[in-house]
Structure 1
Amino acid sequence: MMDNFTPGRFTEELIAAGVPQEYHGWLERYGVGALVVKMGIKFLELGPERSVATMPVEGNTQVAGILHGGAHVVLAETLGSFAASLHAGSGRHAVGIEVGATHHRSVAAGLVTGTCTAIHLGGTLATHEVVMTDEAGRRLSTARITNMIRDNRGH
């Protein structure tokens, strides 16, 4: 019987999502999350200062046939939360406390790229800006996410 705590259970998921091998130990018990898998998010770069991922428009559209605004926020929050968690380090974790986005342009096809850049990496808060662009490099949306950094509780 497999559960979310079986070591190596998510190895294939991590590889498919493009998570660099150096972070597999950190995520092998939890994976990247069901929503990341459903949205088709693929990591290109992962670090506390800068993280980059792509997401297909297809499968993530709203009724008018354009990328759903919430999909922009999912990509932004995924990148910001992963980056903040890497900043938090061992024995600590990141908890999202605020996210906001401004949508500048719509997109109906192709691949969206989210580029997450640290604004502030402190001892208790981490704030990142995430810019989503289309395949032509045009800015689609800008988001900001703040995570609180907390110590893990002992069991």
Structure 2
Amino acid sequence: MDLSKLNINTPLEIINQATQAGLIGSLGIEITKIGDGTVEGSMELSEKNCRPDGILHGGANLALAESLAGLGSMLMVDMNEFDVLGIQVNGSHTGVLRSGKALAVAKILHPGNQTHIWNVDVRNEDGRLISTIRVTNMIVKRNDRD
């Protein structure tokens, strides 16, 4: 699918189909809700996203957060004219996930013309915080990308 055609009104089924071929699909990330300045998603614990001891890998948490924030920024700009590039991800892991799903909520803090800053909280199914992550995306004109 041409990602430049995605917008906030695109049905979740189409967004999830469009994102499953790469890392998002490999890790088991699913987009569950899109709103104005928010993106929610989940990631089922599996052998593809956990450490050898069965705990959700911290890097998978960061990938979940960057995926949601990146999608959120993509939905806010004209992807025919602009590109969204993740430039910083900073996370603090406060708990572990041993079973079930990681549930993440990304909220935009700064919807600027050149940068978007998102906060993403990842929780277990009981609501306990697993990670809190800050993602910064750079918004660049497609011809200025390099």
- What TM-score, normalized by structure 1, do the two folds share? 0.78
Is 1:119 the counterpart of 2:109? The answer is yes
Cα deviations across residues 89-139 of structure 1 (Å, max 9, x unaligned)? 242121011001000001110011110000100100000000000000111
The structure whose Rg is larger is 1
The count of aligned residue pairs is: 135
1:103 aligned residue: 93
- Larger displacement relative to structure 2 (144-153 or 45-54): 45-54
Q: CA 1:147/1:73 → structure 2, altered by over 3 Å: closer, same or farther? A: same
C-alpha separation in 2, matches of 1:84 and 1:95:
9
Task: Structure 1: state its 5+ residue gaps.
Answer: 1-6, 9-18
Is 1:153 the counterpart of 2:143? The answer is yes
Alpha-carbon shift at residue 88 of structure 1 (Å): 2.1
Moved over 4 A (4+): none
1:3 aligned residue: none
What pairs with 1:1-155 in structure 2 (closer than 5 Å)?
A: 20-21=10-11, 24=14, 31-32=18-19, 33-47=21-35, 49-59=37-47, 60-90=49-79, 91-153=81-143
Cα deviations across residues 39-97 of structure 1 (Å, max 9, x unaligned)? 11111112460000000112211022100000100100000111111122242121011
Q: Secondary structure at the match of 2:61?
A: helix
Q: Is the 8 A contact 1:48 1:87 kept in 2?
A: no
CA-based RMSD of the aligned residues comes to: 2.5
Task: Structure 2: state its 5+ residue gaps.
Answer: 3-8
Flag the structure with more relative contact order, 1 or 2, with Cα contacts below 8 A and sequence separation at least 6. Answer: 2
Structure in which a larger fraction of residues adopt strand = 2
C-alpha separation in 2, matches of 1:48 and 1:83:
9
Q: Secondary structure at the match of 1:86?
A: helix
- What TM-score, normalized by structure 2, do the two folds share? 0.83
Q: Is the 8 A contact 2:41 2:103 kept in 1?
A: yes
Q: Is the 8 A contact 2:95 2:130 kept in 1?
A: yes
